[in-house]
Structure 1
């Protein structure tokens, strides 16, 4: 269900309004002044009416809400400023971390390529008769680079694991800190919610139960009609001759006389 747009209630705070309203309706049986729920109006009707009167209800706690929004905006500005300064301070470490990541990725590739080349050439030279003296040296260098490749792969795997653990703990800490508000912002939020409940929602519900006619009307759900709507004019009356009032006499029409002028026969010749 969508709430009406209220100029002093931000979109991000509308879920809080709905939560407070639902909680008040859920615990209405605990309040003697709301004991009439269900006799004239049920909770669904009251909720619909409160949704339609958002501007009226939230205006009762406008001062507390303004203080809460101001404190929250100041907190966000402070956090953004700290984040901008931290980004500038971390530019150099990030560059160093980027170089280390490149070396960690390239080291196994280069060492593995060197190992393949030295081993391949060394064993080919060893197949000659007689084998060159440096064939054993190339084979030894190939096995050395193979061991270096294995060590580089192990170091890279450990580095990736540590980075994943560090990023996971950092994101968890950031998520937890985002849910906790400073004391001044939390107090401002609690003050607004209490004022909204005590001076806005509860009086509205009491007035609606005392006199439902004074509360905003609840619109029934739209249902398509089974007949064509009237557009502003009525269809003509096609009543039979024996129905309705007596009709006025119809005018009679006789055909005109089309005799030729001044022509009556041979005795009327022109002079």
Structure 2
């Protein structure tokens, strides 16, 4: 299973994370706190769970990882600047001519065995047919000789191409070894930052996650943060409000009384309203 993307981890450091996780699972039986490996969950299940929770695990060592990435970036920038100042890349007509020469050489190396082999087959076939039909034909001997010549050329071209492939493979192998040695021979500050990140990732990220996973295999990845176990998740409680009835409130005071207004007909109004 491939590792999921994590905001705290660059793609180039993904294999290193998987290697540290693999080492932790490989030596899990040597740790008393991981004694449940194989009983509750096996190593493959734990690996799948840890790869799915990469973002949570790597967040535990985010500070050390940022320091390591910064130190590594400064080293690469310094190496790039030194290469640009000390050994400039060739350009101009010379580099173009070199590239053209390399392309022509590759074409010749590929086409020579094919063309020479085809010519050898044709000349040999025609020459021996002519000899079989008319033994007195002198032209048949020339065709057979030309056929064997092209066969020798094809064999020599195949040999040269094989040697070229072998030299290229050895050169690429030497380049890979040089890159690995350069990776191993890092400056002291970069090597120290990388080791600090590896240690923090293992002790504060991977091992706590594995312990929590073994303690509660049914919990989801979100509950297994490196700094919080399922037993330490706070519970959120709710209390209902107290409702009091009308009888439980303060003593009711005297209620106001209302009287209906007095209505009189128009005939019995005041003095100002005398009937016409």
Query: TM-score normalised to the size of structure 2?
Result: 0.49
SS at match of 2:223: coil
The aligned residue for residue 197 of structure 1 is 198
SS of aligned partner of 1:53: helix
Q: Is the 8 A contact 1:104 1:152 kept in 2?
A: no
Trace 1:108-123 onto structure 2 (pairs within 5 A). 112-113=122-123, 116=126, 120=130
Alignment of 1:129-140 (within 5 A): 139-140=137-138
Residues matched between the structures, number: 199
User: Where does the alignment leave 5 or more consecutive residues of structure 2 unmatched?
Assistant: 226-276
**Residues 116, 142 of structure 1: 8 Å contact kept:** yes
Deviates more, 1:60-69 or 1:146-155: 60-69
The Cα of 1:18 is off from its aligned counterpart by 1.8
The aligned counterpart of 1:38 is 35
Change in Cα spacing, 1:140 to 1:167, as seen in structure 2 (3 Å) is same
**Which whole-Å deviations, capped at 9, do the CAs of 1:207-246 have from their partners, x for residues lacking one?**
6669x89x95249xxxxxxxxxxxxxxxxxxxxxxxxxxx
C-alpha distance in 2 between matches for 1:118 and 1:3 = 64
Find the counterpart in structure 1 of residue 72 from structure 2.
68
Contact preservation (8 Å) 2:60, 2:201: yes
Tell me, yes or no, if the aligned pair for 2:5 and 2:55 is still in contact at 8 Å.
Answer: no
- C-alpha distance in 2, partners of 1:96/1:46? 53
In structure 2, the CA distance between the partners of 1:5 and 1:119, relative to structure 1 (3 Å rule), is closer
1:15 match = 15
Q: Which residue, 158, 161, 166 being the options, matches 1:160?
A: 158
After the TM superposition, which of the residue ranges 149-158 and 103-112 deviates more from structure 2?
103-112
Shift of 1:159: 1.3
Q: Aligned-pair distance for 1:147?
A: 0.9
Structure-2 change in CA distance of 1:70 and 1:170 (3 Å): farther
CA distance in 1, matches of 2:100, 2:11: 36
Q: Which residue of 2 aligns with 1:59?
A: 62
Find the counterpart in structure 1 of residue 223 from structure 2: 217
Task: Provide the residue aligned with 1:24 in structure 2.
Answer: 24
C-alpha change, 1:191 and 1:156, in structure 2 (3 Å) is farther
- Encode CA deviations 1:113-150: one digit per residue, 9 max, x unaligned: 599489849x76x9xxxxxxxxx7xx334312311211
Q: Contact (CA 8 Å) 1:115, 1:143: kept in 2 or not?
A: no
Residue aligning to 1:95: 104
Tell me how large the CA RMSD over aligned residues is.
Answer: 5.1
Measured in 2, the distance between the counterparts of 1:55 and 1:152 equals 64
In 2, are the aligned partners of 1:24 and 1:202 still within 8 Å (CA)? no
Unaligned runs of 5+ in 1: 127-135, 220-271
